[in-house]
Amino acid sequence: MAKHHIETTVNGDAVEFLCETEETLLDVLRDTLHLTGSKEGCASGDCGACSVTLDGRLVCACLVLGCEVGGRRIETIEGMAEGEALHPLQTKFLEHAALQCGICTPGFLVASRALLERNPNPSETEIRYWLAGNLCRCTGYDKIVTAVKDAAVVMRKG
Amino acid sequence: MAENGTNGHGYVGTRTIRPDGVDKVTGRARFGADFNLPGQLIGRVLRSPHPHARIVAIDTSKAEALPGVKAVITRDDFADQPSEFIPAGEMMMNYKDVVRNVLAREKALYEGHAVAAVAATSAAIARRALKLIDVTYEVLPHVIDVVEAMRPGAPLLHDDLFTAGVEPKPDKPSNIAKRVEITLGDVDAGFAKADVIVEREFKTAPVHQGYIEPHAALATVSEDGTAELWCCTQGHYIVRAHCARLLGLDIAKIRVTASEIGGGFGGKTVVYLEPLALALSRKAKRPVKMVMSREEVFKASGPTSGATVRVKMGATKDGKFVAGFAELKYQAGAFQGSPVQPGVMCAYAPYDMENVKVIGYDVVSNRPKVAAYRAPGAPISEFAVESVVDEIAKKLGLDPIELRMMNAAREGTKAAYGPKFGPIGLEETLNSIKKTEHWNTPLRKWQGRGVASGFWFNIGGETCVSLTVNEDGTVSLMAGTPDIGGLRASLAAVAADELGVEYDKVRPIIGDTGSLGFNFLTGGSRSAFSGSMAIVEAAKQIKADCCARACKLWDLKPEQVAWERGRVRPIGDAADKAKPMSIADFAKVAGKTGGPIVGYGRLNAQGAGPSLGTHLVDLEVDPETGRVTILRYTVAQDAGKALHPAYVEGQFQGGAVQGIGWALNEEYVYGDDGKLQNAGFLDYRMPVASDVPMIDAILVEVANPKHPYGVRGVGETPIVPPLGAIANAMENATGIRFTELPMSPPKVLKALREKGVTAK
């Protein structure tokens, strides 16, 4: 069967690509568009390392097909910093040492941004439950939770 | 040259931003699967569906004929290796087994065992090609459980495996690869003096390291046999050595670059895909990229041993431990080499005891070959001992912290495994825990509190780094141990302090195998310990070099010049003869004063001090479901000196949460068919953010006198105490002594019902 021709928006840029029916959005991002910031940890939606937003909704890119994303708005980790300015979440993850190996970090950042867009002042429990779809094996989550809380403070101050 | 006062800004011990941080929060950092080469093929592995089967024949002709398939490899593509043991992290491995683990030879020994591999122009073609490989198996009876594997008449994995360490040598092969024993004093005499003796049998399940990044490798071999390899590994020099051996290549002809590594915990100290990618590339003459799926990671890499452990301890009525016996049976997986030896050595290491005897058995069964996992072997044996210590405290009516304090190993204690300890910090960690508000907070019904201590040796080993002063006075730092959790931040701080330059002016990278002398792998909590020693060594050379250059520039004698407070200065009667010079000043005149300024630190680091820790946990048991919730957790551990306190705390917190997973949920579940039933993150459930509380971390610093900054390795000890601490808290909450891990809801509920405990 012929490949699908898809036109969509990734991090504000208009992009077009061809993909097989079986290819996931994660495959397309990583292998076709060379946006390797989204990671494949499980390919079954259990680890959250491929978290991206689709029209503002947090999804696992490994559970979305490439041919489903025509005309949508996709945001990945590569679009999180604005020019030279890191997003407050990125800055706070660095300041609080909220990453060790860093493989889960893009997913946590994208998921945390989605949280703070909905809830600018989340409690520790709300942060923990929102991020329960993202696995981190290094940090024990402590410093991640602290970083998200601190970033929320900065963002509320605008 | 006079040497005096080396330190400049004092970055060591502060929470600097990691130099590789921005790349990691922007998605720029390249991990194992993020590398690609033009013209690359995709490699895939065919794995055995049987837990135990003779491989009668492999017919690859149909796969080779499929358009797009460029290479197929099987056992025939690797020469057999003689039996030879070599160190693998803190464990041992044998090349005869390694060659059989990367591709099965006579038999497939576990479900998921690699049998063949293909390289094709697309992943889809590679997958199709795997289905066209025709393997004729003769299915054999299998054995999964360690105790069953030890029974006479159990299915035999290797007919040439005779138990080592027993006299006389057995005349029949068995699944028991090895018996080890350590003895101190006389345990029988010790038990005779005991007022209280507790004996218990424990069982732990195999658990996976659970790194989020699956194994990945990209290899390219040229027509003249020169090879390049990019992979995620804890030790690219070790990968190079293994691949050179397995492929029959000169070491100098293989250049290995370690990608950023997405977690390892010991599981990335061995080779799986790397030799296959190289062999496929050699055959296809094109680059080959291979990445494991999560299912493959579970079925064919890691995990650590499950075990059966019997512990018997005796104490006097005032609480002095007078004898400790233990028998450990560790699963090695399909090939010998479980971490039973360190398990034996660590069992009683936290305590000052005169009579200790520990016996260990290394047992093969039809499971994936175990790999190192954070303090390999220690959490299992120490879980059993810490559980029994708690029971002794209860029997004697003693406070569990006081009982540990009374028996704590300290400076001068002779460990049962041999050495006499230097300064160590167990008592300090116990004291810190006792002083916490946490320890003194009351609990409610169904809640329990537990405490346990833990020990790990730590290692040093071969290490090589370079420091290069650039033309503008900035410093390039190259290390050869993959940075798995903040290493570059620690090493840059040490280099900046040693050379009197700003932290931001030091740029650390991890060099490839062609750029530095041999480095042993990142493991044994060694990379910050030995790396910082090597940086001090390299900086010393630069300082000596700069002093010599200053002598020439200033026309002074060596004794009139010294490195002080981050500068080369004229001293004594020459003090006003010249203006002090910084590293940046020397950089400007490097060409005129002898050329490039480079320091090269190389050593086989000795004197790694053990790190001891004590954990405190509160939990609550739900009597309706058996679910256990961790309410509060505090870690106190001796770091010697924390080069970067935030990343040391991170080690404590991460290790504690891995331990929580081990204690409460994680396990390999096998069916009667010998197949793994939970090879995915949904069913192999690691702790998520909502499963755990904040983890309070208390840094205890009892300086290691063998290290210039007092550093001890810190990465492994944190996973040792949680198992015992949680089991002890469970006893405190329910009155039930749980002896089998994981303490998952079905098991907890069953135990509560058997005891007649109900929700109301």
* Region B219-248 average pLDDT: 97
Contacts of A138 in chain B (CB under 8 A): 263, 485, 650, 654
Q: Would you call B25 and A128 a contact, using CB atoms and an 8 Å cutoff? A: no
Here the tokens at position B517 are 């002398």
Torsion of CA B506, B511, B517, B522, to 10 degrees: 90
Contacts of B21 in chain A (CB under 8 A): 93-94, 99
β strands within B470-594, DSSP E: 475-479, 506-510, 561-564, 567-570
What domains does chain B contain, in order, with CATH numbers? 2-29+460-605 (3.30.365.10), 32-141+211-300 (3.90.1170.50), 422-458+609-760 (3.30.365.10)
Contacts of B687 in chain A (CB under 8 A): 141
Residue B561 has pLDDT above 80, yes or no: yes
pLDDT of residue B91: 73
pLDDT of residue B146: 94
Contacts of A39 in chain B (CB under 8 A): 31, 33, 212-213, 262
**Contact residues for B154 (Cβ-Cβ < 8 A; gap 6+):** B143, B148, B174, B175
Give the closest-approach CA distance of A135 to chain B in angstroms: 6
Residue B247 has pLDDT above 50, yes or no: yes
SS3 content of chain A, % helix, strand, coil (to 5): 40, 20, 40
Cβ under 8 Å to B: A residues 62-121:
76-78, 80-81, 86, 90, 93-97, 99-106, 109
Give the closest-approach CA distance of B696 to chain A in angstroms: 9
- Number of neighbouring beta carbons within 10 Å of residue B518: 17
Backbone dihedral angles phi then psi of residue B150, each to the nearest 5 degrees? -85, -15
pLDDT of residue B4: 35
- Number of neighbouring beta carbons within 10 Å of residue A15: 16
SS3 (DSSP) at B519: coil
Q: Would you call A127 and B689 a contact, using CB atoms and an 8 Å cutoff? A: yes
Q: Would you call B212 and A49 a contact, using CB atoms and an 8 Å cutoff? A: yes
Nearest chain A Cα to B696, which residue? A142
Residue pLDDT, tens place only, A67-81: 999 999 999 999 999
Residue in A58, A81, A64, A73 with CA at minimum distance from that of residue A134? A58
Question: What ipTM goes with this model?
Answer: 0.98
User: Residue B511, Cα to own-chain centre: how many angstroms?
Assistant: 21
Nearest chain A Cα to B123, which residue? A23
Cβ under 8 Å to B: A residues 8-27:
20, 22
In the CATH scheme, what is the code of domain A88-157? 1.10.150.120
Residue B536 has pLDDT above 90, yes or no: yes
Q: Would you call B25 and A99 a contact, using CB atoms and an 8 Å cutoff? A: yes
Residue B9 has pLDDT above 80, yes or no: no
Residue pLDDT, tens place only, B292-317: 999 999 999 999 999 999 999 999 99
Contacts of B31 in chain A (CB under 8 A): 39, 103
CATH class for the region spanning A4-79:
alpha beta
- On whether any CB of chain B is under 8 Å from the CB of A143, the answer is yes
CB B477 within 8 A of CB B599: no
Contacts of B22 in chain A (CB under 8 A): 86, 90, 94
Mean of the per-residue pLDDT values for chain B? 96
Question: On the CB side of B505, how many CA atoms lie within 13 Å of its CA?
Answer: 21
Contacts of B18 in chain A (CB under 8 A): 94, 97
Residue pLDDT, tens place only, A28-39: 999 999 999 999
Mean of the per-residue pLDDT values for chain A? 97
* Region B236-265 average pLDDT: 97
Give residue limits of the domains in chain A: 4-79, 88-157
Q: Which of A90, A103, A132 is facing B690, going by the closest CB pair?
A: A132
Residue pLDDT, tens place only, B59-117: 999 999 999 999 999 999 999 999 988 877 667 789 999 999 999 999 999 999 999 99
Contacts of A109 in chain B (CB under 8 A): 25
Residue B3 has pLDDT above 90, yes or no: no
Nearest-angstrom CA–CA distance, B696 and B318: 32
* Region B633-642 average pLDDT: 98
Q: Which of B654, B658, B689 is facing A132, going by the closest CB pair?
A: B689
Q: Would you call A145 and B689 a contact, using CB atoms and an 8 Å cutoff? A: yes
Residue pLDDT, tens place only, B17-45: 999 999 999 999 999 999 999 999 999 99
Q: Binning pLDDT at 50, 70 and 90, where does residue B2 land?
A: very low
Residue pLDDT, tens place only, B195-219: 999 999 999 999 999 999 999 999 9
For residue B23, what is the enclosing H or E element?
A: helix B21-25
Residue A121 has pLDDT above 50, yes or no: yes
Three-point CA angle B531, B638, B524, nearest 5°: 40
Q: Which of A46, A90, A124 is facing B680, going by the closest CB pair?
A: A46
Q: Binning pLDDT at 50, 70 and 90, where does residue B734 land?
A: very high
Give the closest-approach CA distance of B29 to chain A in angstroms: 8
Q: For chain B, how big is the Rg over CA atoms in Å? A: 27
Q: Would you call A101 and B34 a contact, using CB atoms and an 8 Å cutoff? A: no
pLDDT of residue B176: 98
SS3 content of chain B, % helix, strand, coil (to 5): 30, 25, 45
- Specify the pTM: 0.97
Residue B5 has pLDDT above 70, yes or no: no
